[in-house]
Amino acid sequence: MKSITTDEVLALLDANEDLHIIDVREDEEVANGIIPGAVHIPLGQIPERFEELDPETPYIIVCHAGGRSFSACTYLEGKGYDVTNLEGGMSVWDGELEF
């Protein structure tokens, strides 16, 4: 499974790269801030909502510390999606947040 660090994501955002980020945390966690532009799909909804995602688009999957995003990546990879796990998740994110 591919992984990426928060520093790498921040560098890509600073370079105005078009990133597709999926946040799989729960509603109450996202209420405390989400990476700007990220789409919120709680982990428990991934099996019923994965078809909303484009199989040709690379996605970065994020959660609080990396465990749930790892599970989401495993599931989505099994469905043929191009996914990358954000190492450490939001617990190590020091970039901007959207509320």
Task: Quote the tokens at residue 45.
Answer: 């909804």
Strand partners, 4: 86
Question: Who contacts 31 (Cβ-Cβ below 8 Å, separation ≥6)?
Answer: 99
Catalytic, 73? Answer no
Under DSSP, the state recorded for 38 is: P
- Catalytic member of 21, 53, 63, 72: 63
Cite the active site residues: 63
